[in-house]
Structure 1
Amino acid sequence: MAYRSFDTTQISRRALLRGGAWLAAGAAAAGTPLARTARAQSAGLSWPAVSGMVEKYVSERKVANMIATLGWGMRDPQYIAQGTLNLGGTTQADADSLYRIYSMTKPVTGMAAMMLIDEGRLGLDQPIAELLPAYANMTVQKTYDGSITDVVPAERPITVRQLLTHTAGLGYGIVQKGPITKAYEEQGLVPGQVSRMPIPGLGRAVAVEGLDVFADRLAALPLVLQPGTKWSYSVSLDLLGRVIEVASGMAFDEFLRTQIFEPAGMTSTWFTVPESEVGRFTTNYGIMNGTPLPMDPAKASIYLDTPPFPFGGAGLVSSPRDYDRFLKMLLGYGVIDGKRVMGELAVRVGTSNLLPETATTEGTWVEGQGFGAGGRVMDGSFGWGGAAGTVAFVNYKAGLRANLMTQYMPSDAYPIHEAFPNAVVADLTAMQGAAS
């Protein structure tokens, strides 16, 4: 689905918040043996295509900064960084700068659920109504994006697998149209934030307070599709946050902090940026008529406020170094720096294709591909992207992990979700040729 860049009069909410990483590097990485590419890199062949892309975007002032992070196996990553925290600023962006990662939150939430599945506290195909009774008798719109009163009963229960893979039939305020969109806004089912400033076309709906209230209100509205029938980008990873709370007996944000972030050494990943860390926070820009204009300045960012509830689908701020540690943990099948954070089986299953056999991807963003625990699966790769230009993936066949951080909206104003993996492909191809 293509989106138009926004202008000075209107911004597409869908384009602002959508984040689907293009994993084109998968095929090239899969055909590039780790030992050979690692030898080529140690011989002086680095990442010229990636470096060139980063330098071009920053030097042309399309973005204030851009940082690519690439790592082989369990080795320390290489950082390719250009630019300052904000246009016209003097503080250089680096591996510890902070970025709004939006939908790159989804794989984190997905892996949290996989941990509970591995421990037997959740079932992959468990109906969520066993934990959240309000979901026991769901209804479905007769007509997609049509009336919210002309409905039929759901033909099957919503399961954890369906939440992980966007096949539960849930909607998304940034995707749906018509009455269901209005109902989501009226009920405060707004699992994301952009700015404290009023932005034309974005809307000013106020999110409900509390993940429990979010889940209860969502259950009272009809589904847009029958559960298990089609991949449709949705609020399912946000609802999964509530499932994780009930299954674990712990607040969702606390579960992430104590079970993933702290054990993995991720010291710069939060739902709220601490005041003490504002000095390394980037500014987010809206691209208007080809010009970046500040839409969420770091010192007045909405991410300095406590969110209405922890958004499991789009709420985290992180750094290139921190997100690389998450990817490194996944690439190590749950182990990082000799410490086990997740079970190996949980990672293997979570990064595999979990789409229900009954669900189709035809006509969707992931047509012909797989989907795992909150991320796309393709050619040995697992990952996803964010609405503000970020993208990240691991490739198990090559033993490669990669993420790119920058800040602009909408994500399709520049082709970075495609350009970064394509640059990685070009460099991998060069490494492979040098090593052959």
Structure 2
Amino acid sequence: MTDPRDPHSQRELRELLKIHVDKGALPGAVALIAHGDRVDVAAVGSLDAAGTTPMTRDSIFRIASLTKPLIAAATMLLVDDGRLAMDDPIDRWLPELAAPEVVRTSTGPIDDVVPAARPITVFDLLTFRAGYGFPADFTLPAVGLLFAELKQGPPEPQLVAPPDEWMATLARIPMLHQPGEAWLYNACADILGVLIARVAGRPLPDFLAEHLFAPLGMVDTGFAVPPADLDRFAGYYRRNPTGGLDLVDAPTGQWSSPPPFPSGAGGLVATVDDLYAFARLILGEGTVDGRRVLSPESVRLITTDHLTAAQREASRLFLDGQGWGFGGTVDIEPIDPWNVPGRYGWLGGTGTAAHVTPTTATTTILLTQVELTGPTPIPLMRDLWQLATTA
């Protein structure tokens, strides 16, 4: 709710969204700025490009890579329960990766490989340093296989093979780097999703629903939208070369039924209030019957930068010089006014962003339905973060 002592804050948030919607940057948006107990939310525009259905606070969006922090938190639930440890080799549960191979040089052919120098660990996956994933150069031969064979890239949940088949394919793809050597984007989150399911002995959607979403009250978060809620589900659009919007996925499309592969890298849908519930978990406020859902130590690890200076520099395309915790960036430099050291969060390629700043108890969330053209924030995201620093 908006603090009645500061009624202008929600009006400013609405006006900010309206500026970007009115100039045609996107059909609609939902945004949240929270400072401590004050929470301002605004919904502007439409669910669809035709403008037929108004955007509302409870509108549902494909959150894409905002799935990654949730998967990191789910992994830490298993760590808190003693079912996983940071230094555990993952081949106990993922035998497909018991003897991975690494390309001798990143630019070399995919059949010129050497054995991995050591096993992949849980910590390697959580920090995105297991050897699989995207570097700055997407043209490298080993990277091409991730797109062609594993359907890494923009989420297409109905087109990806089931987990066991997906893992078998992954095992035939060489790693780009030795475990622990380099930060690589995306693939580790999908591997974590399979790991969680196998450690828990149940499908990933069921584990998340029971152990993370239900305790936090995230009632609309999942890998598919139930038929009764499709009228709240936004379309998913991509801007074409002429500046118009092409429909990528309709509400009745790929997220209207459970996917063969529940992607830990980008498969979830959610609402702004569901993501705020998760943000409160990261801020240390997520409790059930007085008990914290995640231990303080797990939250600390999630929100701590684990990269070396060289790894941050090599990953500048994605991280812009900032650090990486588990599933999201951790700001370490005040490059812009909103880059408060310790700010944690990430962007979703379908047009979403969510960040928390523990030192100021601040949360910012933006949900749109227009695909990003790359890892760079859109102007509305930057404007939202700027507003949060002055509201």
Cα gap change, 1:392 to 1:337, in 2 (>3 Å): farther
AA of the residue aligned to 1:56: I
Secondary structure of 1:362's aligned partner: helix
1:249-398 equivalences under 5 Å are: 249-288=201-240, 289-299=242-252, 301-335=253-287, 338=290, 340-355=292-307, 360-364=311-315, 365-366=318-319, 368-378=321-331, 379-398=341-360
Aligned match of 2:197:
245
CA distance in structure 2 between the partners assigned to 1:191 and 1:231 by the alignment: 17
Higher RCO, Cα 8 Å, sep 6+: 1
Percent same amino acid at aligned positions? 33
CA contact (8 A) 2:127 2:324 kept: yes
AA of the residue aligned to 1:258: E
Cα gap change, 1:194 to 1:249, in 2 (>3 Å): closer
Cα gap change, 1:244 to 1:334, in 2 (>3 Å): same
CA distance in structure 2 between the partners assigned to 1:195 and 1:291 by the alignment: 25
Secondary structure of 2:9's aligned partner: coil
Matched, 1:123 2:119: no
Cα gap change, 1:324 to 1:214, in 2 (>3 Å): same
1:58-103 CA deviation, whole Å, 9 max, x = no partner?
Answer: 1122211011112223x36321111111123332211210101000
CA distance in structure 2 between the partners assigned to 1:106 and 1:217 by the alignment: 22
CA contact (8 A) 2:20 2:380 kept: no
Alpha-carbon shift at residue 235 of structure 1 (Å): 0.6
Secondary structure of 1:221's aligned partner: coil
1:114-135 CA deviation, whole Å, 9 max, x = no partner?
Answer: 1111221111122212322222
CA distance in structure 2 between the partners assigned to 1:230 and 1:182 by the alignment: 18
CA contact (8 A) 2:372 2:378 kept: no
Partner of residue 73 from structure 2, selected from 111, 131, 136: 111
CA distance in structure 2 between the partners assigned to 1:337 and 1:46 by the alignment: 32
AA of the residue aligned to 1:251: P
1:98-247 equivalences under 5 Å are: 98-172=60-134, 176-184=138-146, 187-190=149-152, 193-194=155-156, 206-208=159-161, 210-247=162-199
Secondary structure of 2:258's aligned partner: coil
Partner of residue 366 from structure 2, selected from 404, 413, 426: 404
1:356-383 CA deviation, whole Å, 9 max, x = no partner?
Answer: x597222312254221110101112111
CA distance in structure 2 between the partners assigned to 1:358 and 1:219 by the alignment: 30
Aligned match of 2:386:
425
Cα gap change, 1:140 to 1:122, in 2 (>3 Å): same
Matched, 1:92 2:54: yes
What stretches of structure 1 of length at least 5 have no aligned partner?
Answer: 1-37, 197-205, 432-436
CA contact (8 A) 2:10 2:41 kept: no
AA of the residue aligned to 2:234: T
CA contact (8 A) 1:138 1:219 kept: yes
| TM-score using structure 1 length | 0.79
Secondary structure of 1:125's aligned partner: coil
Cα gap change, 1:110 to 1:305, in 2 (>3 Å): same
CA contact (8 A) 2:135 2:184 kept: no
Cα gap change, 1:43 to 1:406, in 2 (>3 Å): closer
Secondary structure of 2:79's aligned partner: helix
1:396-421 CA deviation, whole Å, 9 max, x = no partner?
Answer: 011011100001123449x7545424
Secondary structure of 2:18's aligned partner: helix
Secondary structure of 2:255's aligned partner: helix
Cα gap change, 1:424 to 1:336, in 2 (>3 Å): farther
CA contact (8 A) 1:164 1:236 kept: yes
CA distance in structure 1 between the partners assigned to 2:192 and 2:160 by the alignment: 17
Alpha-carbon shift at residue 275 of structure 1 (Å): 1.2
CA contact (8 A) 1:49 1:427 kept: no
Cα gap change, 1:410 to 1:320, in 2 (>3 Å): same
Matched, 1:72 2:24: no
AA of the residue aligned to 2:25: K
Cα gap change, 1:423 to 1:149, in 2 (>3 Å): same
CA contact (8 A) 1:49 1:424 kept: no
Aligned residues: 378
CA-atom RMSD, angstroms? 2.7
Cα gap change, 1:285 to 1:310, in 2 (>3 Å): same
CA distance in structure 1 between the partners assigned to 2:312 and 2:42 by the alignment: 35
AA of the residue aligned to 1:424: W
CA distance in structure 2 between the partners assigned to 1:176 and 1:71 by the alignment: 37
CA contact (8 A) 1:144 1:225 kept: yes
Cα gap change, 1:410 to 1:427, in 2 (>3 Å): closer
Alpha-carbon shift at residue 428 of structure 1 (Å): 2.3
CA distance in structure 2 between the partners assigned to 1:179 and 1:368 by the alignment: 26
CA contact (8 A) 1:268 1:322 kept: yes
CA distance in structure 2 between the partners assigned to 1:186 and 1:367 by the alignment: 27
Cα gap change, 1:272 to 1:96, in 2 (>3 Å): same
Alpha-carbon shift at residue 234 of structure 1 (Å): 3.0
| TM-score using structure 2 length | 0.88
Secondary structure of 1:146's aligned partner: coil
CA contact (8 A) 1:334 1:347 kept: no
Cα gap change, 1:213 to 1:145, in 2 (>3 Å): farther
